[in-house]
């Protein structure tokens, strides 16, 4: 078999004509002779043709031939097996004509209006009624050639079968359809045609094993709209939609009717276009187009805000936003404390939100900055921290709280060298639980967790060491792990920063409540939904604080009252008058604690840790007739709370994004893409997604023309 060869005549640039019986003849052009060996690969075959035709580039050409004694059907040569079959079919022939035909848009042009066109451009097709009609799908008549034809897999077979059905105008149904076999039969009751393809047992190639009968149902009367599936329509129009984003469904239907003879209704064309747009433009490309517009609208409606969009390779992006109201509230009313956290919005699997969140005087979350990124990487966190630093007029000594992952321990100290950085306590406790010995009972595990919490909230070093020893008595390995995690990052006894009693933050839960969890929002709508909820949150809290009459916030007042109740049983032993300082006192509470009013310190360290005077300090205030409120941290005062929510976030009225302008996208180095409308799964909610645009139509009675009722409930008597 390896020594077989044939003499091939390469035909290029001629003309095909088809008579009424379907016989095709070729004339004109130029011819070149070459030998073709059965042992050649398809790549070697193309190389020899290129050499014969003066190094002609063959990427845009197809190769076809006629079977012996059959000049109605052109057979394609597109792989090694096609080439081998061609040699075997013609081994007894003197010569074989091979037609080199030019492809357009990866398809062979299949028809022209007259017979004067060259063969490298088209083949003439004739309809059953004898009228010539331009059909691109004429070349699809031979996508299924018969038993032994090989495909890359079941998907490629199904695609070829679909083209074959369009070309021959018949409907089919799947009898078997899975990854290893496909059996199809014609839907016409009187047609015996049936085909079966499966993986061969020898080399696992997917090939046609059986073809039963021939079609007796081909007809122009077949409902062609059933042949055009949504995915097929999308594959056909995809490239044209890329060049013409405003390609209308009506134009799509007309083009498919003219080029393929398929009659589509408007809905089919519209859904095919929708699928094609989803395949062409990813959500990242979509976001890259919209975010520059959104950034500019933030600047226009909320002056003083910080917003940055950065385009990355592969249609990726990063977006940072910190509204002026949030920056003002953090700088003027919140404690210098920021929680760094990644926020996963469940329906939006493609994006992550990086957040910097503070807390107000009530201990409630106060979002300061957000960033949209593709993943929680060290590079993205570093970029976020740099943008955050640029947003703050005077960063100062800020305390950061995080889980320490993705390189945050290093990046925070690098971008904010004068800051402090500690563990998120909830995260640390959960990580501690994973280190517990599985052989321990649940009771022992609970005791160990309680020892850890006591060590975390211990204000003095001796107390911390006591609870660490209790853990060590049960497990040396666990105690060593705690020391390796650096207790100065999580224990009040050793932490240098200022948490003022705030150890964790539930910003993820807060954002999750704001975002609809049923469907995925485009990134701009996601950000604007968060903005709307921030706007409402700031307004609501500002209004609620107007009714407060105390100097401190309600939660701070409650904490202070609890300490005052504890102080009732304490006694101030004496005033230490060393160095002439009359503001240092000793208070007896089982042990003796020293209180320094000038430095706001007590040796129990609870005053320093929480920002609220401890019971020992309050006992001194009672004796010296001073107001404990004056010794609370300023961040717990009502006036500071009001300054936190002093500035509003302004609406962005035109958040329904227009098509991106060329200037915006080109400034980012991006190509403009159309905005995608994502069709949601399931029945739409009765309540509109955006409550700002909810409009109800008044009910009007058709009998009396009054409003508020209809004809069935109208009480106006009928006059005759």
pLDDT in tens, 422-439: 999 999 999 999 888 888
Do 374 and 316 form a contact (C-beta atoms < 8 A)?
Answer: yes
Q: Between vectors from CA 603 to CA 601 and to CA 609, what angle results, nearest 5°? A: 60
What sign does the dihedral 285-290-296-299 (CA atoms) show? Answer: negative
Do 78 and 103 form a contact (C-beta atoms < 8 A)?
Answer: no
Q: In what order do the strands lie in the sheet with 420-423?
A: 306-311, 317-322, 365-373, 352-359, 337-343, 399-402, 420-423
Structure confidence at residue 326 (pLDDT): 95
Do 100 and 61 form a contact (C-beta atoms < 8 A)?
Answer: yes
**Full-model pTM:** 0.57
What HEC string does 580-637 produce? Answer: HCCCEEEEEECEEEEEECCCCEECCCHHHHHCCCCHHHHHHHHHHCCCHHHHCCHHHE
Beta pairing partners, 102: 61
Size of the chain in residues: 720
Rounded CA separation 445/475 (Å): 11
Structure confidence at residue 130 (pLDDT): 31
What sign does the dihedral 103-107-112-115 (CA atoms) show? Answer: positive
Instruction: List the chain residues with pLDDT less than 50.
Output: 1-2, 104-134, 220-221, 656-679, 684, 686-696
Continuous H helices in 458-553: 461-474, 476-484, 507-514, 523-545
| Residues above pLDDT 90, as percent of the chain | 33
Buried b (16+ CB within 10 A) or exposed e, 360-398: bbbebbbbbbbbbbbebeeebbbbbbebbeebbeebeeb
- Cα 30 to the chain's mean position, in Å? 55
């Amino acid at each position: 078999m390896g020594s077989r060869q044939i003499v091939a005549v390469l035909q290029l640039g001629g003309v095909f004509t088809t008579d009424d019986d379907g016989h095709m003849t070729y004339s004109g052009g130029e011819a070149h002779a070459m030998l073709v060996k059965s042992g050649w690969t398809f790549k070697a075959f193309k190389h020899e043709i290129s050499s014969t035709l003066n190094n002609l580039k063959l990427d845009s050409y197809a190769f076809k031939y006629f079977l012996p004694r059959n000049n109605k059907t052109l057979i394609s040569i597109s792989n090694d097996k096609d080439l081998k079959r061609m040699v075997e079919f013609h081994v007894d022939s003197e010569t074989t004509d091979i037609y080199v035909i030019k492809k357009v848009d990866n398809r062979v042009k299949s028809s022209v209006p007259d017979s004067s066109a060259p063969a490298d451009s088209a083949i003439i097709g004739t309809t059953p009624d004898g009228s010539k009609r331009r059909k691109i799908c004429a070349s699809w008549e031979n996508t299924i050639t018969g038993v032994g034809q090989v495909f890359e897999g079941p998907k490629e077979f199904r695609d070829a079968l679909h083209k074959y059905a369009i070309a021959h105008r018949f409907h089919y149904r799947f009898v078997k359809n899975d990854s290893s076999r496909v059996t199809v039969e014609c839907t016409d009751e009187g047609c015996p045609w049936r085909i079966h393809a499966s993986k061969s047992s020898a080399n696992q190639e997917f090939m046609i094993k059986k073809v039963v009968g021939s079609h007796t149902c081909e007809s122009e009367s077949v409902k062609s709209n059933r042949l055009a599936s949504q995915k097929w329509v999308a594959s056909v129009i995809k490239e044209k939609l890329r060049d013409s984003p405003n390609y209308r469904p009506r134009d799509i239907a007309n083009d498919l009717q003219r080029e393929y003879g398929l009659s589509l209704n408007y809905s089919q064309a519209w859904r095919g276009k929708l699928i094609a747009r989803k395949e062409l433009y990813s959500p990242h490309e979509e976001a890259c187009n919209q975010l520059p517009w959104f950034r500019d609208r933030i600047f226009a409606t909320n002056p003083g805000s910080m917003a940055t969009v950065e385009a990355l390779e592969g249609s990726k992006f990063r977006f940072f936003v910190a509204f002026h109201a949030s920056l003002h509230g953090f700088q003027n009313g919140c404690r210098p404390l920021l929680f760094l956290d990644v926020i996963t919005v469940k329906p939006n699997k493609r994006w992550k939100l990086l957040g910097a969140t503070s807390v107000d005087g009530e201990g409630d979350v106060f979002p300061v900055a957000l960033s949209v990124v593709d993943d929680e990487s060290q590079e993205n966190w570093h970029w976020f921290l740099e943008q955050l630093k640029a947003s703050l007029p005077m960063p100062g000594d800020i305390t950061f709280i995080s889980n320490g992952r993705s390189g945050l321990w290093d990046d925070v100290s690098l971008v904010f060298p004068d800051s402090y950085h500690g563990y998120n306590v909830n995260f640390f406790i959960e990580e501690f639980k994973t280190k517990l010995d599985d052989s321990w009972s649940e009771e022992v595990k609970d005791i160990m967790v309680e020892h850890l919490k006591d060590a975390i909230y211990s204000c003095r070093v001796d107390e911390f060491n006591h609870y660490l020893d209790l853990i060590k008595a049960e497990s040396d390995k666990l105690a060593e792990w705690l020391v390796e995690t650096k207790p100065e990052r999580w224990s009040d006894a050793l932490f240098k920063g200022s948490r003022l009693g705030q150890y964790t933050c539930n910003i993820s839960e807060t954002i999750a409540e704001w975002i609809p969890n049923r469907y995925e929002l485009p990134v701009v709508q996601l950000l604007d939904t968060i903005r709307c909820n921030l706007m409402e949150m700031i307004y609501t809290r500002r209004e609620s604080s107007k009714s407060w009459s105390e100097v401190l916030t309600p939660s701070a007042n409650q904490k202070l009252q609890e300490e005052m109740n504890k102080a009732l049983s304490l006694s101030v032993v004496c005033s230490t008058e060393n160095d002439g300082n009359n503001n240092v006192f000793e208070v007896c509470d089982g042990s003796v604690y020293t209180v320094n009013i000038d430095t706001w310190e007590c040796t129990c360290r609870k005053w320093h840790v929480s920002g609220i005077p401890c019971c020992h300090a309050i006992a001194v205030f009672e004796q010296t007739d001073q107001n404990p409120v004056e010794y609370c941290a300023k961040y717990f005062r009502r006036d500071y709370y009001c300054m936190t929510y002093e500035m509003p976030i302004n609406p962005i009225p035109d958040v329904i994004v227009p098509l991106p302008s060329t200037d915006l996208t080109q400034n980012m180095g991006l190509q403009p893409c159309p905005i995608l409308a994502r069709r949601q799964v399931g029945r739409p909610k009765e309540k509109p997604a955006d409550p700002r645009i909810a409009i109800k139509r008044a009910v009007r009675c058709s009998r009396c023309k009054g409003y508020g009722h209809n004809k069935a409930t109208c009480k106006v008597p009928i006059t005759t």
